[in-house]
Amino acid sequence: LSFVPSMQPSSSSYRPSDDGPSNATDSDDKETLKRKLEEALKKIAELKAAKNRVDCDLYSAKKNIQGKEADLVRANESIAQLQQANNRQHRELTENQYETDRLKEEYRNYMTEVHSKRHEMVQIDETPRNVLYLMRNCRKRFPLPFPLTEDDPHYPIIFKKPRTH
């Protein structure tokens, strides 16, 4: 084989004895890369910590939301129970009102009947005994169902107004 001089490295482009400046540059590059790597690792650690905090916040927020939803469900159940109780009370109140109105009407009819019977009693028999009985038993509820003045001898003294002179 023949020797090709162009294939050999020239002395100006390759200098094995001239490693000083390239080693310094390599070490500076290594230091810079090491610093950048440390900064990147710190940044990654910070981001991981931030992510963990966000995950914790998210988890607590989810638990909080679940708790609020459970509270909302319980509140809706209690509202439904209160509405049922209110409807039941309203229905009972309405029934009681109807019953009260019915009893008032019944009592009114009864009293009208009693009054008319007493009036008939007086018309049939106007004896003093009957008149006094009616006055004692009916005076507070009804006006007298018959004409009787204070001058009448059968008019009871307890009902007479005091005379002023």
Position with higher pLDDT, 155 vs 47: 47
Q: Give residue-wise pLDDT tens across range 28-80.
A: 888 999 999 999 999 999 999 999 999 999 999 999 999 999 999 999 999 99
Tell me the C-alpha distance between 15 and 6, whole Å.
Answer: 17
Within 10 angstroms of residue 142's Cβ, the number of other Cβ atoms is 14
Percentage of the chain exceeding pLDDT 70:
62
- Locate 104 and state its tokens: 């008032």
- Locate 53 and state its tokens: 């905090």
Distances from the Cα of 131 to the Cα of 116, 135, 148, 161, angstroms: 15, 6, 9, 18
Q: Residue 59 has what pLDDT? A: 96
In the block, tokens 């810079």 appear at 32
Angle CA 80–85–91, to nearest 5: 125
- Locate 101 and state its tokens: 């109105």
Q: What is the arithmetic mean of pLDDT over 131-149?
A: 60
pTM of the predicted protein model: 0.40
Q: What is the arithmetic mean of pLDDT over 118-134?
A: 68
pLDDT averaged over every residue in the chain: 79
